[in-house]
A and B are shown apart, each in its own frame.
Chain A
Amino acid sequence: MFSEQTRQMAAQCRHYAMCKIDYLGTGICASGMENHYVSHFPQGRMDIYDALARELIPITRGLAEIVDSCDLCGICDKQCHFVTGMRPLEVMKGLKQHLKEWIDQGNDIIPVESDPELDALREIVGWRWATNDPAVLVTYANDPFPLAEMRMPRYVALPGTRDEVAALVRFANARGIPYVVRGNGGSVFGFVFSDGLVMDMHRMKGIEIDAENWVVLVEPGVTSFELQQAVVKRGFRVNTAEPAATVCGNIVCTGLFSTWANAYGVNADSFVDMEFVDNKGDIFRLNAPAAPNAFCFEHKLTPAPGICIRAHVRLHPVTGDEEGWFVPFASFEEAAAFAREMSQRRIGLAIGVLGGHYLSTFMSPSAALADNVRFSLTEAIGLDYVVFMIGDRFAREAVNAMQEVVIDQDLFRMFMLGLPRLADDEWLDLVSGMDGDRPPYEILLQREMRPVLDAVLQPSPETAARQVDEDLREFYTKLYARPEMTDMVWLNMFRILSARMSRRKHMFAFLVYVPMDRVDVIEQICTALGRIADDYGIDNDYGFLTPLDMGKRGILEYDYYIDHQDPAEKEKIRKAAVVFEPFLDNLSATTKGVKWLKYIFSQGCARKEAFLYT
């Protein structure tokens, strides 16, 4: 028996692979780490439950083994709740229960026969690392992209070396089997499907730091989170993508951007060299004289140069006096101008303009609290936008000299740990009543107000944990007691909060390179995307803006939110696409400095100058 409520939760898996990295220090699903297939991680089990309930897959030996390998440790509950608010342990229990009932009823577990192609694949990667079991395949049939339909591959293989990758390509070519590569078993930007072979790079997790050359050699299964962990231990930092995104895959697909891109750049700025397996199965290095020119840019949809098997990623220095802060603004125009000025003046490392939506969602451990906090920040306190910055003490002093009100690390920690009380009705009533020409935040954020805020917010790990399910409070209390969980530098370096953007609904992100000196154009894009979404009844909001290349250009994110399990919502996006695609295409073609990421996709090795200034 399947519970429909549980199935619906299982179907709501965002496929962000956050359960495949140890971002909360809880450890990772042991079965997943041992078996590497997505199917053995909570994400895969969510798909399996949904597929079983919908009778899309049979109960195979592979499935039984997957279910048995789960020890119901509950790590997935904590990890998933942190970003999505969901409690997948219920799904894991449901799977075990169903399997038991199935066996108790005298049913047979179906063996899945091999075939010559699978035998050959196993020859290449080893028997254990290739399969055609539907229970495994189905976990590669979904994609975070909300419009993607389920598509089952015939085989999944997990190569362990670059030579195995090359051999798989040659084999697939020889047998006419289409293939795709999934760095971490999924692709955040989506549409990575194949009817043939899916290569999952999860076993290739080599990280080799070459400190003298300020470079780290990264294999394709290494996630952004894992790489940052490794280099931080040695006193370095790398530009960082979504934590569960693989570094190689992210560079190739999107050019790797974040608020750090202000200082560290994008695309070819991120690496010193890249190694690929081309579509014939030959290995080449990008810096080799005879290599294809992946540094150029063409304004058209272009395939990747090949399968990245190793990236030589740039390392960046870290000073001991770095900290983060927010500079609040009541309007986007002021915030964007300030962010640009900081970039122009080379003040600060990471810079981003965030709205109340992002800020409240990042900070809040529950969706309901995020809504209240957003109201508190924007409507009550008047803080509509902040410029988020990370820099050293000289940058901090410069900003303090320029801005009267700054939310520094101490104040941020106070807000994070006192968040439920920030959204307290009584306090909100009081703050909302603060009339005057200056927005309330200008008074509330003054240094003299800190003892008052301290009394109002009662910041503590216990206060912060107050908003989550009762059985998780102890866990959250311990979590928030850890300094890094309220440290702006750490949080931004590891980006563990960003997946919360999809907590309420799946996110459909528009990413557009923009001219930072044309705030009118940036606002025009936001207004147009907002209007289109409104016309089709799609939830939408401003995402972020980060300056690039000394404030000459920037990257803008605007987001649509849909329930990816609701066909009506998908249809809305499809209809809206008829309007937003030509709008962004036209703007990209006619306005200097505007480039929709759609055209940069798979050209992540291109020099940024090749598309930002052409």
Chain B
Amino acid sequence: MESQARSVRITYPINHQKTFLVTGGTGFLGSHLAVRLLAYGHRVFLLARGRKGDSAVARVRRLLDWFDVDDGTRSMLEVLEGEMAQPLLGLNEGDVQAVIGRVDEIVHCASDTSFSARKRDHVVRTNIEGLQNLLEVVQEGRCRAFHLISTAYVAGMVSGVCREAFGDVEAFHNIYEETKFRAERIAADHCDQNGIVLYVHRPSIVYGDANSGRTLLFNALYYPIRTLNYFQRLYTRDIQENNGEKAQGMGVHMASDGTLYLPVRIESLDASGVNLVPVNHFVAAFMAIRKEKPEGGVFHIVNSRNTAIRQLVVYIRRFFQLSGIRIAEPDEFIKQPKNGLELLFENHIQVYGSYMRDSRVFENSRTAAILAGQDVVCPDFSYETFATCMRYAVDMDWGRRLYQEGDTGCAKKSLMDTKRSPHRKSAG
């Protein structure tokens, strides 16, 4: 099964070589898809932006190191330094012409995944205006296929079956769902008017590689666990070095079984849990869909089984050697109000609650049929998978050691000077 393999090591015979534009190229999904497309022998323009003093090229180079992409493959990649929110994507004239004249397919991954209403302007700017800017650039071009990376949660505030098709939605849980829904409509109208095949890929919650645990992003599933781990280390240090002065204030102590007792009650969520897909499955599904469905469509890339929060709590306790974390009934909080740690979790649960107690069922018959034909199966989120992912997360200090020497598993590559225009840069 393809998704069982470590995706970044796979190489494929070069055939039907095409040129792709991948937006959000330095993001989690964008970078994984770009690397897979390169591995398939395609040429990739990667739209990326500089950040915190790092140029787009430097950021991409670091990513390619992380993916262990060889020099030959790197030569098939060109970085376009741009900004989705700007007209013409902030590209120079040469790059605009390259996109218009050479790009066969677009994979639009750039997205602001914030759920926060206070960030509404920014989310709209990226998810709506950014898409419109992209469509404006490619309108005159040769591009004939457009892959929009959306989300299964455009279904909005509904329960029960969510169809694998465009549909009407009355309300959303957050600005992210709303803007992704609107983006789908904008892309559909544009593609319809311009004879472009549209693929709308709707993954649920994507975590790291199920086999290696490798990931570039430590939000969503990872964030609350990271929070627990932060306080675990904080209080353990306090107990070891300061006689637990601060720990006592929070009722934290070392239990007799050697676990750290962290008093965190998580309010009972009597629903079916969270839908998780590993990134390797997402990438494999994307490639299978693209291969099998030349006519495009809407595709739910989801797990057939949700993971219950109760189950996740068990995993957390076991892996991190924590006690005290437990599911509690709502009336418990009336008798004993939430402590500070629980308030942090409450905030998280308020934000992600709709995904944790998800009663939505994502119909995926079309995608399932394609994946079955390609022998692509989404793995269950077992303890082993959880442990693999958490081990990697802890090793990488939740992303803080991600790009440090030694992690990438490959020697740093020198900058390649492949044939390129004065405006475009190889990230080799």
Cα(A435)–Cα(B350), bound, Å? 10
Chain B neighbourhood of A446, CB < 8 A: 340, 343
Is the CB of A439 closer than 8 A to any CB of chain B?
A: yes
Cα(A427)–Cα(B344), bound, Å? 13
Scan residues 415-454 of chain A and give those whose CB is less than 8 A from a CB of chain B. Answer: 425-427, 429-430, 433-440, 443, 446, 448-454
Asked whether A455 lies within 8 Å of B118 as measured between CB atoms, the reply is no
Scan residues 218-235 of chain B and give those whose CB is less than 8 A from a CB of chain A. Answer: 219, 223, 226-227, 230-231, 234-235
Q: Mark A443-483, 1 if CB is under 8 A from B, else 0.
A: 10010111111111010000000000000000000000000
With A426-B400, A443-B347 in contact, is A435–B235 under 8 Å at CB? no
Chain B neighbourhood of A430, CB < 8 A: 226-227, 230
Asked whether A455 lies within 8 Å of B116 as measured between CB atoms, the reply is no
With A429-B398, A436-B350, A458-B246 in contact, is A452–B116 under 8 Å at CB? no
Q: Which residue on B lies nearest to A452, using beta carbons?
A: B340
A595 CB to closest chain B CB (Å) equals 34
Cα(A358)–Cα(B343), bound, Å? 29
With A451-B250, A455-B238, A456-B234 in contact, is A434–B347 under 8 Å at CB? yes
With A451-B250, A454-B246 in contact, is A435–B351 under 8 Å at CB? yes
Asked whether B246 lies within 8 Å of A435 as measured between CB atoms, the reply is no
Asked whether A437 lies within 8 Å of B118 as measured between CB atoms, the reply is yes
Instruction: Give the contacting residue for B340; candidates A434, A448, A458; CB below 8 A.
Output: A448
Instruction: Give the contacting residue for A433; candidates B219, B231, B341; CB below 8 A.
Output: B219
A443 CB to closest chain B CB (Å) equals 5
Chain B neighbourhood of A604, CB < 8 A: none
Interface size class, chain B = 20 to 34
Cα(A427)–Cα(B223), bound, Å? 13
Interface size class, chain A = 20 to 34
Chain A neighbourhood of B223, CB < 8 A: 433
With A433-B219, A455-B235, A458-B246 in contact, is A450–B115 under 8 Å at CB? no
Cα(A429)–Cα(B114), bound, Å? 15
Q: Mark B25-41, 1 if CB is under 8 A from A, else 0.
A: 00000000000000000
With A429-B400, A433-B223, A455-B238 in contact, is A443–B118 under 8 Å at CB? no
Instruction: Give the contacting residue for A455; candidates B114, B234, B337; CB below 8 A.
Output: B234
Is the CB of B53 closer than 8 A to any CB of chain A?
A: no
Asked whether A435 lies within 8 Å of B238 as measured between CB atoms, the reply is no
Asked whether A435 lies within 8 Å of B343 as measured between CB atoms, the reply is no
With A433-B223, A448-B338 in contact, is A426–B230 under 8 Å at CB? yes
Asked whether A451 lies within 8 Å of B249 as measured between CB atoms, the reply is yes
Is the CB of B339 closer than 8 A to any CB of chain A?
A: yes
Chain A neighbourhood of B118, CB < 8 A: 330, 382, 437-439
B342 CB to closest chain A CB (Å) equals 8
Cα(A547)–Cα(B393), bound, Å? 50
A463 CB to closest chain B CB (Å) equals 12
Q: Which residue on A lies nearest to B398, using beta carbons?
A: A429
Asked whether B249 lies within 8 Å of A454 as measured between CB atoms, the reply is yes
Q: Which residue on A lies nearest to B247, using beta carbons?
A: A455
Q: Which residue on B lies nearest to A433, using beta carbons?
A: B223
Chain A neighbourhood of B117, CB < 8 A: 437
Chain A neighbourhood of B400, CB < 8 A: 425-426, 429
Cα(A436)–Cα(B398), bound, Å? 21
Cα(A525)–Cα(B399), bound, Å? 42
Ranked 10 nearest A-B pairs via Cβ: A452-B340, A455-B246, A451-B249, A449-B340, A437-B117, A436-B351, A443-B347, A435-B351, A448-B340, A451-B250
A-B contact pairs, 20 of them (CB 8 A): A426-B400, A427-B230, A429-B400, A433-B223, A434-B348, A435-B351, A436-B347, A438-B118, A443-B347, A446-B343, A448-B337, A448-B343, A449-B340, A451-B249, A454-B246, A455-B231, A455-B234, A455-B250, A456-B234, A458-B246
A330-B118, A446-B340 given; 17 more Cβ-contact pairs under 8 Å? A426-B230, A435-B115, A435-B351, A436-B350, A437-B118, A438-B347, A443-B343, A443-B344, A443-B347, A446-B343, A448-B339, A451-B249, A451-B340, A452-B344, A455-B235, A455-B249, A458-B246
